[in-house]
A and B are shown apart, each in its own frame.
Chain A
Amino acid sequence: MENKEYMLGNSAIARGLLEGGVGFVSGYPGTPSSEIIDTLRTVEEKDFYVEWSVNEKVAVEAAIGAAFTGIRSAATMKHVGLNVAADPLMTVSYSGIEGGLIIISADDPSFHSSQNEQDSRRYAEFALLPCFDPSTPQEAKDMIPYAFEISEKYKKVVIFRPTTRICHGKSDIKLGEIPGKSGEANFEKDTSRWVMLPQNAKRRHPVIIDLQKEIQKELEESPWNTLELKNTSKLGIIASGIASAYTKEAIKEIENKTKNEFSFLKICAYPAPEEKIKKILKHCDTVLIIEELEPIVEDRVRIIAQQNKIKTEILGKYTNHVSRVNELNTDICKNSIENAFGLKESASLVDEANNETEIELPVRPPTLCPGCSHRAAFQAMKDIFGRSAIYPGDIGCYTLGIQNGTVDTTVCMGASISIAAGMSKAGEKKHICCAIGDSTFFHSGMNSLMNAIYNKADITVSILDNRITAMTGHQPNPGVGITAMGEETYSVSIEELCKAMGAEFIRVVSAYDYDSCKTAFKEAKSFRGVSVVIVKQACAIVERKAGVRRTPYYVKTDKCKGCKRCVNFGCPAIEYDNETAIATINSQCNGCGVCAYICSFDAILEVEK
Chain B
Amino acid sequence: MKNEKLETEDKNIKYDIIICGVGGQGAILASDVFGRAAVVQNYNVQAAETHGMAQRGGSVENHVRIGATEGSLIPEKSGDILIGLEPAEALRYTHLLKDDGIVILNTNKVLPTTVTSGKSKYPDLDEIINSLKTKYKVYAFNATEKAKEAGNRQAMNVVMIGASSNFVPLEEEVLKSCIKKIIPPKTVDVNMKAFEMGKKQIEN
Contact = CB atoms under 8 A, between A and B. Distances in A.
B188 to A, nearest CB: 20
Given A169-B46, A170-B31, A171-B45, A576 B118 contact: yes
A362 B114 contact: yes
Nearest to A242: B71
Q: Which of the listed residues B42, B45, B73 has the most CB atoms from chain A within 10 Å of its own CB?
A: B73
Given A6-B36, A362-B88, A570 B58 contact: no
A366 B48 contact: no
Contacts of A369: 56-57
A95 interface: no
Interface stretch (B123-131, B169-177, B193-201): B123-131
A398 to B, nearest CB: 11
Given A113-B52, A365-B112, A578-B118, A330 B39 contact: no
Contact of A359 (B22, B43, B116, B128): B128
Contacts of B113: 365, 367, 403, 570, 572
Contact of A172 (B39, B55, B76): B39
Interface stretch (B2-10, B89-97, B160-168): B89-97
A472 B122 CA distance: 30
A567 interface: yes
B56 A367 contact: yes
B147 interface: no
Interface in A568-599: 568, 570, 572, 574-576, 578
Nearest to A8: B49
B53 A359 contact: no
Interface in A361-390: 361-369
A248 interface: yes
A364 B117 contact: no
A471 B127 contact: no
Interface string A1-23: 10011101000000000000000
Nearest to A252: B70
B131 A169 contact: no
A367 B47 CA distance: 25
B11 interface: no
A512 interface: no
B31 A113 contact: no
A329 B47 CA distance: 13
Contacts of B137: none
A334 B73 CA distance: 13
Contact of A365 (B52, B58, B91, B111): B58
A249 B72 CA distance: 11
Contacts of B91: 357, 359, 361
Contacts of B38: 6, 172
Interface string A114-149: 000000000000000000000010000000000000
Q: Which of the listed residues B71, B112, B114 has the most CB atoms from chain A within 10 Å of its own CB?
A: B71
Contacts of B57: 364, 366-367, 369, 572
B10 to A, nearest CB: 17
B97 to A, nearest CB: 11
A331 B48 contact: no
Contacts of A171: 35, 44-47, 72
Contacts of B49: 8, 168-170
Nearest to B119: A362
Nearest to B115: A362
Interface in A426-477: 471-473
B112 A568 contact: no
Nearest to A329: B73
Contacts of B70: 136, 245-246, 248-249
Contact of B53 (A6, A242, A366): A366
Contacts of A359: 91, 123, 127-128, 131
A132 to B, nearest CB: 19
Contacts of A471: 52-53, 56
Nearest to A470: B56
B114 A364 contact: yes
A549 B81 CA distance: 38
A276 interface: no
Given A4-B39, A165-B73, A366 B116 contact: no
A342 B192 CA distance: 54
Interface in A292-334: 329-331, 334
A564 interface: yes
A32 interface: yes
Nearest to A358: B131
A397 interface: yes
Contacts of A570: 113, 117
A201 interface: no
Contacts of A400: 53, 56
B123 A360 contact: yes
B50 interface: yes
Q: Which of the listed residues B76, B92, B114, B117 has the most CB atoms from chain A within 10 Å of its own CB?
A: B117
B31 to A, nearest CB: 7
A356 interface: yes
A246 B73 contact: yes
A406 interface: no
Contact of A165 (B48, B88, B95): B48
A330 B56 contact: no
Nearest to B153: A587
B32 interface: yes
A578 B198 CA distance: 34
Contacts of B22: 364
Interface in A393-417: 397, 400, 403
A366 B58 contact: yes
Contacts of A73: none
Contacts of A575: 111, 116
A403 B57 CA distance: 13
Contact of A356 (B51, B95, B112): B95
Contacts of B48: 165, 168-170
Contacts of B69: 136
Given A172-B38, A570-B117, A329 B54 contact: no
A561 interface: no
A435 B176 CA distance: 46
B56 A364 contact: no
Interface in B77-91: 88-89, 91
Contacts of A331: 75-76
A31 interface: yes
Contacts of B128: 359
A112 interface: yes
A574 B50 CA distance: 26
In the A-B complex, list the 6 residue pairs whose CB atoms are closest, starting with the nearest. Answer: A113-B52, A366-B58, A31-B52, A364-B112, A170-B47, A366-B56
19 contacts: A1-B42, A5-B39, A6-B35, A8-B49, A112-B52, A113-B53, A165-B48, A168-B51, A170-B45, A170-B72, A171-B47, A329-B71, A359-B123, A362-B120, A365-B58, A365-B114, A400-B56, A564-B118, A567-B117
Interface of B: 22-23, 31-32, 35-36, 38-39, 42-59, 69-73, 75-76, 88-89, 91-92, 94-95, 111-118, 120-123, 127-128, 131
Given A362-B112, A364-B114, A400-B56, 4 more contacts: A245-B71, A397-B56, A567-B118, A575-B116
